Structure 1
């Protein structure tokens, strides 16, 4: 739902009644992941998407129905050989969608408003909602902030069942928030992790992940554009002020003139950060990579020929790095696309970053048996039973 936060926040501020459909679990080759949402207001205006087009019409109708009867439901859409052109996923996947009415006096409206407001302001927060459990708890919501404080929906809009389940839910949501992840968690009625109680979908709203490009070279300008396209906050860092300029990198969020390793030592990074070293100059690379390969970041890649890479490894060993740390280095950086131009090279680097993040192999999908969509980032539950109508719309 947070993927359409800006529009939904405007609707709430305008006092509109609406229903929101959120992907809560996927299986197989489903087009969109948990958290993707489509919303429909009382006038029939629709925003967002849950499937990229496969089931939008049916979900739209369900949203209109939910506004009429005020009931939260979970629907399953899948592929049916008998009726492949009916409503469903012709890609062969399975999609579980929760439809929640949000009327002017809906119990969850207050907490959803707070979650949407935080998302619009760019504040880190996690929205946890019950997607499997007793019917009366479906859609109940909890907003959790980084310091562990939380805000619960009013009355039936809250998790209920006493303080312990709420505390457990808040702790689990906070853990996913710290990792910048969206996923599901299982809680039993007493707040423990035994399946069979409640399943919560936790959507994390975090600032964009960081990409730091070291080396203000021609290839860097194209990589900055690719990084912005992928949703990164992109910084260019180079010790040479004549190259690290706004004129050369107009699309970068930050331009830093400083020795790379010194900048890396003082800047905040996390497990989503991508570090791209394009300088292929030992006086910059070695101290920088010595620091980078010891950080818990998502990606460390370095440009250079295979000969440069071998020489670099020897120098890094001399600097004290072990084989486990060296194994984290992606070099020569990028996937084998036969790239020549800066733009093609940036594409190959961006592709490797995505493959690393999502658990992809980088091999062509044509003729291969690797999954098109990987479950690398999310914990999915595909066997929802409670509060769910196992949809005959399964296409």
Structure 2
């Protein structure tokens, strides 16, 4: 499980004061969504992005100032004034970015944040959007446990309920304090989706790299140790040298699981497909020619699986971008995975 707060904890533990810049509200077209975040270190180095361009540069400067004086602030970025040819900003909206400060005062709280996330796989963090030097925050876990305070007991009770609602919906939001206090940002963090790559062949290598780059927890599975090892997949979260069917049968699968089947033959494809086709996974894709995938699907159908279940399988896998090289095919696969995850159409934006 990875969150940007692991980086914040690491930097604070090494003695640094760092700033986080979080998009807390947007209007119109903006380069990043509510909840997007970057970390700024005293060196000026950044982790993450809130969209790049001159808007991010302005926030970066505010973050550097906050690191020096310990003062939180909100930066309003009006992108309607930045649609020019000499910047990267081509959006036309407005976004508010809250710059927060973290140092040794938050060391124990950061430990609680990261432990809570590892144990619960999701969390909400409520932050009072004010320059208050006490830096009020409250951590809310799915079971209702909470840690930290926004300054008043009644407010803490109210924001805990708001945090649980945000967790149930999986959406970060800014809420208005009913007692006319400062706005409160409730940031929802959930465990990253899992990409299971069944088959460690030549396409799996760039696919695993892209999966990690796009924020997936990547699992590579192959029954041949020479194709499933850390040397071949150094960035993957798990590399399993084990039988396909048995491993997938025992592996936890849910609606945040994406499965790419790209084994070396029909029999292994079918072995994998039979283990996932009726599971509540978000995506199933299977590589191969139309003839090959049709043969596998026909065999699965003979086992009694319905047309509705067969229709869940994206086969041949990927979007049609004319891919030929392994890296291009991997890009085609990840494009389809992202399309499913984000609800896109796959059409060219210029159409």
Using structure 1 for the length normalisation, give the TM-score: 0.70
Query: 5+ unaligned residues in a row in structure 1: which ranges?
Result: 191-195, 369-395
- Classify 1:115/1:315 alpha carbon distance in 2 versus 1 (closer, same or farther; 3 Å): same
Match of 2:252 in 1: 268
117-126 vs 292-301, which moves further: 117-126
Matches within 5 A, 1:330-369: 330-365=314-349, 367-368=350-351
RMSD: 4.2
1:7-48 Cα offsets, whole Å, 9 max, x none, are 53245335655553211233554223333334567x685634
Match of 2:241 in 1: 256
Contact 1:160 1:166 in 2 (8 A): no
- Which of these residues, 316, 328, 331, is aligned with residue 312 of structure 2? 328
- 2:148 is the counterpart of 1:152: yes
SS at the partner of 2:8?
A: helix
Match of 1:21 in 2: 21
Structure 1 residue 334 displacement after superposition: 0.7
210-219 vs 96-105, which moves further: 96-105
Q: Distance in 2 between matches of 1:286 and 1:322?
A: 15
- Which of these residues, 181, 189, 192, is aligned with residue 204 of structure 1? 189
- 2:32 is the counterpart of 1:47: no
- Classify 1:45/1:341 alpha carbon distance in 2 versus 1 (closer, same or farther; 3 Å): closer
Q: Which has the higher contact order (CA 8 A, sep 6+)?
A: 1
- Classify 1:186/1:312 alpha carbon distance in 2 versus 1 (closer, same or farther; 3 Å): farther
Report how many aligned residue pairs link the two structures: 346
- Which of these residues, 143, 155, 173, is aligned with residue 184 of structure 1? 173
Match of 1:393 in 2: none
Q: Distance in 2 between matches of 1:313 and 1:141?
A: 52
- 2:1 is the counterpart of 1:5: no
Structure 1 residue 215 displacement after superposition: 2.8
Structure 1 residue 359 displacement after superposition: 2.1
Contact 2:44 2:64 in 1 (8 A): no
Structure 1 residue 213 displacement after superposition: 1.8
Q: Distance in 2 between matches of 1:17 and 1:360?
A: 39
Using structure 2 for the length normalisation, give the TM-score: 0.77
